[in-house]
Each structure stands twice: as structure tokens, then as C-alpha cells.
Amino acid sequence: MGSTSAENHGTEGVGRRDLIKRSAALGLISVPTMSFLSACASSGGDDSGDKAKAGKKTAKNPLAVNDTAGMEFVLFDGGFGKEYAEDAVKIYEKNFPKASVKFSATQKIQSTLQPRFNQGTPPDLIDNSGAEQMDMGVLVGKNQLTDLTPLLDAPSYDDPGKKVRDTLRPGIVEMGQFDGEKVWILYYAYTVYGVWYSQKALDSLDEQYPETWDQMLAVCAKAKKKGMAGWTYAGKYPYYLPFSLYPMIGKVGGREVLDAIDNLEPNAWKHPAVKACFDAYYELYKKGYVLKGTPGLDHIQSQTAWAEGKALFIPNGSWVENESANVIPEDFNLAVSAPTGLDSSDKMPFGTIWASGGEPFIVPAKAKNASGGMEQLRIMLSEASSRNFTGKVKSLTAYNGGTDGIALTPGLKSGVAALDKAGENVVNPRMQDWYVQLQKEKIGVSGLGEMMAGRLTPAEAIKKIQAFADETAKDDSIKHYKHQ
């Protein structure tokens, strides 16, 4: 999950989700807290003597970047590669020719940067993604990030009449908030989560994508007769299952059920919609519709088996197109759909989908040139940079547009269509951003993973997961967040 990147073993790549970071890889940073004011870019040097002094604010330099100050940018080197960022850095260098920019890319974000946070010498802009993603909740809780509101309220790169925030896709600003109005993170990629499949394979069964669970079971039965499993998933990282299961819960029971889960409310997991959806997924296991051996597969192995036609459906994020490009056949006709619901009594319509930001960019509170880091993000949120990213890595960005004139790949085209179909019915569960260990290790591995392997019944999985959530809610060492 954000996330959005953990999986990243490559996976976040494209969204490499803010997810796969195994919680074991998450280090808790301990650094003296600092006040927000001393973290402001405009604070000149009141926190440390080597902060860049503010430059002259102009129409072309609305964030008052010091045009001679150095700027350092560290990118997560995942499924999206680094070319899109290098291209954006060239624009920064062209706009500020007297500034020296230090750009680097690494997969080891935490081990490379945690010591620098501890020493008070972090870079100015970080793509905090991948298996070694630093825990966002901890960074926010320890006041280690700069509030990005000045960036969001600055004129957009292309149109001075529009603020940056007015050019972003739904949910991006809210995702960067943890408690209150301040925005600590700018998610640059825009990930569509759902059920991915080969339209060619579905056509060969003479079937449409199933909208109700009875139809889903019928399609899986037909696939099984042809020697194809209905489903596979990243068995070793079962927190991929929520990519389709969470929006299904929201569809069946309404957004408020997902909010209650995120808010760690007592008995949130015991809601009838949760039980109905767990029962539905468990039925896939019981009827033999899950690819044999799936619990032992990692994300790459499960995606490869699926691309080879061994299974029809896989829950995943839109990074899967880039990440699996070397194994998806040319005539696969990759498609994504919103999750199948139960029946006509569901609270939200078919098409309800989870879509949200991936690739979380942050500006540290102790950055020497925070306004430079924000300006680099402002450049990346231009139409040209967005188009460049989409064209190169087959993923949408947070910028709401930037696809005109680009020949969209099948998966990306399908993702855009799914977003159009969803309209306002986009859900954005926050568990993977707010409580990484709970989401991955406990809900994912110990709960859903065990249930889908047949080692727990749905009722037992729900009881276990509710106990984990209650434990997290009572743990005062964990910062708690709530939907406003």
C-alpha cells in the first residue's frame, strides 16, 4: 500500500505501490521534533544557519526560489525508472542556470536517508517509495516534513490563473493530509486498483466481466472447465488482495464502512458487508477457483502465471502493466475492472473503484532548499512533465489531464475508462498509508493470507483482524489518524 510502494520490489514502480514495503523494512526515525515554523522554507535560517535564503518572488518564480542555491533530489529507483525525473530536473536547471542540482536514484531510501534525517541534513525532495519506504505516519508525527500548502496554492506551471491544487486529480490533496489541513505528501503517480485480466481470455470464454458474485462464480466455473484458474494473487504479499476486496466492501456497505475500518472503530470489521465480502472471496478458495500454489507465489510469480494464461483474474494496481511488460503477450489485451459486487442490494453502483496516489514525494522540514524542492514538484505537475511520465511509464499522474495525443497502452486506456465509469464513486481506503504494519503483516499476511490459503474461516479471519485493529487502536506509541 502508498501505498503506495512498498511492494516495490519493482512493483511500486508504477505505483509501486506505496505498498510492498514489508514492515520489517520500515525503520522508525527518531529525531528531535521541530516546530512547523522553523521548518518553513521562508524561515531563512532560523533553524540552522545553512538554509537557503529566500529568492525574489516573481510571476515565473512564485515560490521565491533562491536562484543560486543548490537543490538535492533523491528518487526511488523502481518500476517507473528515473528518466521522467531526470527530464524534469533539466527544466529546473534551465530555469535556474546558476543553481547546482544534485540528482540521485536508489532503491534503499530508508537506509540511505534515515542517517541524514538524524543528522539534520536531508535532501530537498524525496520520492519516499519502495520496499525501504520511510514510515509516513512516523515522519508526520515527528514533525519531520514541510507543509506543501505553499506549493498547492502557488500558480500552476502552465496557467497562472489556476492554483496547482486546482490541476490535481480527485483525492490527491486529501491523501497528503494526516490530521487537519496541512499537506505533507504529494503523491505523483495516480494508481487505479482493481481486478486485472486479459480481455482476449474473457472473450474466449464468451463472457463479459461479472458484475455480481453469482456471475463471478459462473465465469470462474467456465474458466476451470477450460483448464484455467479463476484467480491468482501475490500469496506471499496478500495485502494485494485489498486492492479489489476493500472497494468491494465499500460497494456493498458504503464508504462509511471503509472509513470505520480506517478509523479503527470498535467492531468495524464485524460489519455485515465485511463478512459478506470475506465469505465471497473464501468461496473462490473453497470451490477451487484459485490457482494451485498461489499462497507460495510472490507478486512477480503470480503476475507471470496470470500473464501466461494460468489464471483469469488478479487483484493489482496499474503499475502491473509496466512491471509485467516483459511477460504479457502482445495480444493479451490487458484490461482492468472495478470489483465485482454481491448483488443489486449493494449500496454503491457497479463501477465503484479504488484509485489514489502512488509515489509519495516529500520535502523534509530540515531541507536546506525547501522552496527549490517544491518548485521541482511544481515543474513535474506541468502538462508537459505529466505527458512525459505517462508516455514513458504507462501510468497516469496526479495532474488531471496530460493524456491527450498520447497513444494509450491497453491497460492505461482501460484504467482511464474505469475512472470515467466510476465518476464520483472512487473510494480511497487509508489503512496502507496510516498503519503500514497493521495493513501488511496483520490484516494481509496473518488474516487474509491465512483465510485464502484455507487455514482460517472468514469468521476466524474477521475475529483475528478485529483484534489486531483493536490492539493498534489502544497502542499509545502509534500515532492515530481519522477521516475528517
Partners of 427 in the β-ladder: 354
CA distances from 348 to 60, 217, 250, 281, 344 (A): 45, 21, 7, 19, 9
- Domains of the chain (ranges, CATH numbers): 23-191+356-427 (3.40.190.10), 193-354 (3.40.190.10)
pLDDT of 79 reads 75
pLDDT level of residue 33 (50, 70, 90 thresholds): very low
Of 424, 39, 423, 2, the closest CA to residue 176 belongs to 2
pLDDT of 393 reads 86
Mean of pLDDT values over 162-183 = 90
pLDDT of 4 reads 37
Higher confidence at residue 434 or residue 61?
61
pLDDT level of residue 322 (50, 70, 90 thresholds): confident
Flag whether pLDDT at 18 surpasses 60: no
pLDDT of 251 reads 98
In whole angstroms, give the CA distance from residue 64 to residue 373: 12
482 contact partners, CB below 8 Å, separation of at least 6: 179, 262, 263
Q: What is the pLDDT of residues 131-149, one digit of tens each?
A: 788 888 889 888 999 999 9
Q: What is the pLDDT of residues 440-450, one digit of tens each?
A: 899 999 999 99
pLDDT of 26 reads 31
Residue 143 φ/ψ region, left for φ over 0, alpha for ψ in the -120 to 50 degree band, beta for the rest: left
The full DSSP string for 384-425 is HHHHHHHHHHS-EESBS---TT----HHHHHHHHHHHHHTT-
Amino acid in the structure at residue 194 = G
Higher confidence at residue 104 or residue 11?
104
In whole angstroms, give the CA distance from residue 333 to residue 328: 9
Percent of the chain with pLDDT over 90: 75
| Number of neighbouring beta carbons within 10 Å of residue 344 | 8
Q: Is residue 99 packed enough to be buried (19+ CB in 10 Å), middle (13-18) or exposed (0-12)?
A: buried
Calculate the average pLDDT of the chain: 89
Residue 198: DSSP 8-state:
E
Of 187, 155, 198, 205, the closest CA to residue 80 belongs to 187
Flag whether pLDDT at 6 surpasses 50: no
354 contact partners, CB below 8 Å, separation of at least 6: 192, 193, 194, 243, 246, 247, 250, 426, 427, 428, 429
pLDDT of 437 reads 87
Higher confidence at residue 244 or residue 181?
244
pLDDT of 425 reads 95
Of 376, 362, 359, the closest CA to residue 71 belongs to 376
In this structure, the strands spanning 311-317 and 186-198 are antiparallel
pLDDT of 152 reads 98
pLDDT level of residue 294 (50, 70, 90 thresholds): very high
Q: Give helix then strand counts, H and E, for the chain.
A: 20, 10
pLDDT of 21 reads 32
Of 14, 21, 18, the closest CA to residue 4 belongs to 18
In whole angstroms, give the CA distance from residue 31 to residue 36: 14
The full DSSP string for 105-125 is EES-HHHHHHHHHHHT---SE
Q: Which three cell numbers stand for residue 336?
A: 482492468
CA angle at 63 for the pair 62 and 68, rounded to the nearest 5°: 110
Residue 43: DSSP 8-state:
G
CA distances from 480 to 141, 183, 469 (A): 9, 17, 11
Amino acid in the structure at residue 135 = D
Q: What is the pLDDT of residues 374-417, one digit of tens each?
A: 999 999 999 999 999 998 888 899 999 888 888 889 999 999 99
Percent of the chain with pLDDT over 70: 90
pLDDT of 270 reads 98
CA distances from 293 to 232, 395, 455 (A): 9, 30, 14
Flag whether pLDDT at 14 surpasses 50: no
pLDDT of 326 reads 93
In whole angstroms, give the CA distance from residue 4 to residue 73: 19
Q: What is the pLDDT of residues 210-254, one digit of tens each?
A: 999 999 999 999 999 999 999 999 999 999 999 999 999 999 999
In whole angstroms, give the CA distance from residue 111 to residue 109: 6
pLDDT of 328 reads 97
Of 139, 209, 159, 158, the closest CA to residue 364 belongs to 139
